[in-house]
Structure 1
Amino acid sequence: MPDPAVIRADSTKPFLLLSTRGEDVAAHAEHLSFAGTAGIAPAKLHQIRLEKGLPSALSLDDYSGIIVGGGPFNSSDEIKSGLQKRVESWFDDVLAEVLDRDFPFLGACYGVGLLGMAGSGSVSRRHGEEADVITIKKTAEGTVDPILEGLPTTFHGIVGHKEAIDQLPADATLLATGDNCPVQMFRIGANAYATQFHPELDADTFAQRLRIYSNQGYYQPGSDSAAVEAARRLDVKRSGQILRNFARIHVARRV
């Protein structure tokens, strides 16, 4: 576990959560889920809701690291709104700087497509997964990666996505895999990570999110109750160690 005194101290730089969820309830819950799971005080996790407006300038030096949650956009969407195109173009510039500087970054679900495309990989809908709890397996590289420290070789995580990595960037390191979706977690450089699963969710927040997105094609009608039951029965909260490790490793003091 991280030292809460360090992550909550006034002398530390905040982390930044970049959100694309248009629903106020979902965006607020996402902020609290990431902060609570990572062990960051909510006030030290600044949230920018990109669907409400794109920042004209963003200085990475103001933050300890960047976190990106899930959202309604898919890189493989055949038809994209003007907002989606603007958000994706904005992310192109941000992630180019993240990769150039090897800046701390952790993207969950939507972040997989963003980081994968930024690294010149590809995505498709071949490996989408309906909302469920799956078994995730660390690769040999994953067993020695500090962000996965404290997690067993296999652990459970919550998924629900329409697209996934089809081909990893040439310089990416595969850290975790799954039976139906081969790329569950990867890293580019030393500090930029993406997970296909949601380490910020537990059974209750999973149930809430399923209710919010009940009509958006993430699961078959009626299957949500079984997915939530699996989240209560299996230790999905353990995957949150990834966020705690990320925060602990990258918390930075002001200069």
Structure 2
Amino acid sequence: MPTKPFALLASRSEDVAADDEYASFLAHTGLRPEELVRIRMESGPFAPLDLEAYSGVLLGGSPYTASIPAAHKSDEQLRVEAELSQVLTEIHERDFPFLGLCYGVGALGRLTGAVIDSTYAEQTAAVEIGLTDAGREDPLLSGLPPSFAAYVGHKEACTVLPPGAVLLATSAACPVQMFRLGTNQYVTQFHPELDRAAMVTRIDVYRNSGYFPAEEADQVIVRISRADVSDSHRLLRTFVERYRTAL
């Protein structure tokens, strides 16, 4: 039966990182290219977005830091943020199927009243993610074990949840690793789309972007290579299976 595609909202201006991110989403959702429409937000206007054309919306990670003052943001970032807020406002009002990874915490969180700052910034690493009681009962996480490894590496995180949010996952160094709003809006701090090869590409592309000392990139690769993050990928496939909608 024909189904509506999913939309992937992306914002990486570096083609190597952007293409590798898209490949990661395809690999771990199980979608074909025609089933996952990539929208590169940084390349030009993308809003309004016709949500009726899609089964759900995925938001990839981003080099943007949501919590810095507007005066320190580029014109590109300010435009993307304004248009993305327009799209997310509709998603939130409709409780439309949404999964935002990394940047989703800052984008949807700030829109709905969360506190996003650098209190729980994370080094680039693989960490142990633990599901809360609510997480263990959530249908999107039903295929995951109570704890699993996933990749992180962020300059900001959620310090205070937005009103009405349900905390689904946490970690020792970052209390908010995943939350849900409504029934169908999910965001993660961790990166379920990244496997080791994709993480190595990300480290190489962003080695001079302040996530870690550039001269320590090889050490970071050794550190992240010790972990098995395969369980984290299930989240993406479950999202697709749950929300795939017939034409």
TM-score band (shorter)?
over 0.9
Deviation at 1:234, TM superposition (A): 2.1
2:16 maps to 25
1:37 matches 2:34 = no
Deviation at 1:195, TM superposition (A): 0.5
SS at match of 1:113: helix
Asked whether the equivalents of residues 109 and 115 of structure 2 are also in contact (C-alpha less than 8 Å), the reply is yes
Q: 1:26-65: CA deviations, max 9, x gaps?
A: 1111111011101111221100111110125311000011
1:201 maps to 194
1:170 maps to 163
1:120 matches 2:147 = no
Q: 1:41-99: CA deviations, max 9, x gaps?
A: 12211001111101253110000111111112111123111111111111111111101
Identity %: 44
- Label 1:243 to 1:198 Cα distance change in 2 as closer, same or farther (>3 A): same
Give the alignment of 1:42-191 within 5 angstroms.
42-78=33-69, 79-191=72-184
SS at match of 1:141: helix
Deviation at 1:229, TM superposition (A): 3.4
SS at match of 1:214: coil
The structure 1 segments of at least 4 consecutive aligned residues displaced by more than 4 Å after TM superposition are none
* Alignment length (residue pairs): 245
SS at match of 1:156: strand
| Superposition TM-score, scaled by structure 1 size | 0.92
Deviation at 1:226, TM superposition (A): 4.1
1:237 maps to 230
Bigger Cα displacement from structure 2, 242-251 vs 73-82? 73-82
Asked whether the equivalents of residues 95 and 185 of structure 2 are also in contact (C-alpha less than 8 Å), the reply is yes
Q: CA RMSD in A?
A: 1.3
The code of the aligned residue for 2:113 comes to: S
Deviation at 1:230, TM superposition (A): 4.2
| Superposition TM-score, scaled by structure 2 size | 0.95
Task: Give unmatched runs, 5+ long, in structure 2.
Answer: none
Q: State the distance in 1 between where 2:221 and 2:137 align.
A: 31
Q: State the distance in 2 between where 1:211 and 1:118 align.
A: 31
Q: 1:202-224: CA deviations, max 9, x gaps?
A: 01110011001010011133544
Deviation at 1:228, TM superposition (A): 3.2
Deviation at 1:151, TM superposition (A): 1.1
SS at match of 1:233: coil
1:13 maps to 4
Q: State the distance in 2 between where 1:28 and 1:227 align.
A: 22
